[in-house]
Structure formats: structure tokens, C-alpha cells
Amino acid sequence: MTTVPAPEYLAVAAVLFTIGSVGLLVRRNVLVMFMCVELMLNAANLTLLAFGRARHDSGFHVLALLVVAIAAAEAAVGLAIIVGIFRNRHSVNLDELTLMKR
């Protein structure tokens, strides 16, 4: 059985994080931006797990589990906010959303 070395995991995590950050900067739809943040969190998790496996340290695995729990809470709260905005404004486009305009 062959194992994949840590640099390959880190390269995939870097690509995922780059896709997420570019999507976050380029897109104006809140749902797409929300998915890009989740993609970036998954890339961070992959990095933590790669370092944990390379160093044979279970602390990184515990930290990755903590990031998953935070991502789940962020998803629940973020989607609730997005649904609330959509119900009031009938749009989730950031260009159409402002705080002072009704």
C-alpha cells in the first residue's frame, strides 16, 4: 500500500484555498461567497490533517475537528442570515444590498 506524501496534500490545499479566495473576491452573490469561505475552511482542514499526519501528532487532528465544528456553526448562522436577507430584500446580490437603503 502506497501513501501520499504531505507535499501533495499541501498542494491540493493551496489550490483549494486559492480557488476559494479568488471566488470570494470576484463573485458578488452572497451564496457563492459563502461557499467560497467553506472551501477555504476545508483547505485549512486539509493542511492541518497533512501536518498532523506528517508529524504523527494527534493535536492537529483535534484542531481540524474543532474547525469542522466552527464551520458547521458558521454555516447554520450564515445561512439563516442569508435567508433573512433574501426574505426582506428578495435578492442576495451584494451590489443590491446596502444598510441604509430600504
At 25-77, the pLDDT tens digits run 998 788 888 899 999 999 999 999 999 999 989 899 999 999 999 999 988 99
Q: Is residue 98 part of a domain?
A: no
What pLDDT score does 16 carry? 96
User: What pTM was estimated for this model as a whole?
Assistant: 0.82
Question: What CATH number has the domain bearing residue 10?
Answer: 1.10.287.3510
The answer to whether position 74 is within a domain reads yes
* Residue 100 counted as domain residue: no
Per the model's pLDDT, the better-predicted residue between 2 and 84 turns out to be 84
Confidence of residue 1 (pLDDT cuts 50, 70, 90): low
Is the residue at 44 inside a domain?
A: yes
> Total domain count for the chain?
1
Query: Does residue 102 lie within any of the structural domains?
Result: no
Rounded Cα–Cα distance for residues 4 and 10 (Å): 11
Which tens digit of pLDDT belongs to each residue from 51-61?
Answer: 999 998 989 99
The answer to whether position 53 is within a domain reads: yes
Q: Which domain holds residue 72?
A: 6-92
